[in-house]
Amino acid sequence: MDHRDEEQETIERALSLFSQNHPCSRRQFLKIGGISLLGISTLGPLLARGEAKAPLIIMEQAQGIVIADPTRCVACRRCELACTEFNDGKASPVMARVKVIRNLHFGPQGPYVGQHGQGNWGNGLVIPEVCHQCPHPVPCANACPNDAIVAKPPLNVRVVDVERCVGCRMCQRACPWGMMSFDAGAGKATKCFLCEGKPKCVEACPAEALRFLPWRDLTDKVPPRVVPTAALPPEKAASCSECHKAKN
């Protein structure tokens, strides 16, 4: 098996676990992930009728992505520590850009911890969550009122511009996978930026559950984890309606 086949096998194995009982089409992603509240009111009818055409790409595609394989994860959480120790100089899993969670359910009416779609009672699977480096429309970037989330070359990874970020946390409310983090000490949002092409979470994983691979769009394969509650700023909603409107 060559390197390309091995990569594909890893991705397919991970995605098969993520997507059980949770079909999520590109159309659903556009509706749920990129455009919420005000945006949905503008684009919803077009998307529902299937009349919207492919949008213009307003942010360069990322060139890399971290892929997680839940079947290999041993829940040591070294990835979380490596992320914050290297990037922030402190051990703070709550700030980590990779988030490890065990899929458990504590009864029909009790608290649920994990990923919906993994069985009514949970299956105990440990799932490392990673940023998908979304293509356009980028939910966190769209929701930011200060355009503080930008593509940084050479990998075009989506990063938070701390000079523009005001700590409003709208990006956290916009991500369908809950992958935005917040540095309470600095009052700034933060997210995975792939450690400039050498992700420390990947290097620290003893089980090789994380891999750094060329980018591919996973947003239509991994179901949303949360319902976004961020409103699209009016000026961005108007701009989106121009790109996504049906053509005669």
Tokens of 53: 């055409």
Grade residue 175 by pLDDT with cuts at 50, 70 and 90: very high
In this prediction, residues 160-183 reach a mean pLDDT of 94
| Number of neighbours of residue 218 by Cβ within 10 angstroms | 19
- pLDDT per residue as tens digits for the range 207-225: 999 999 999 999 988 888 8
Q: What is the CATH topology of the domain spanning 3-242?
A: Alpha-Beta Plaits (3.30.70)
Residue 117 has a pLDDT of 52
Report which residue type is found at 196. Answer: E
Residues 6+ apart with CB under 8 A from 212: 64, 65, 66, 67, 194, 197, 198, 199, 202
Residue 55 has a pLDDT of 44
- pLDDT per residue as tens digits for the range 60-119: 899 999 999 988 999 899 999 999 999 999 888 889 999 998 766 555 545 455 555 555
| Number of neighbours of residue 179 by Cβ within 10 angstroms | 23
In this prediction, residues 232-244 reach a mean pLDDT of 71
Q: In terms of DSSP bridges, do strands 157-160 and 181-183 run parallel, antiparallel, or are they unpaired? A: unpaired
Report which residue type is found at 9. Answer: E
In this prediction, residues 11-27 reach a mean pLDDT of 52
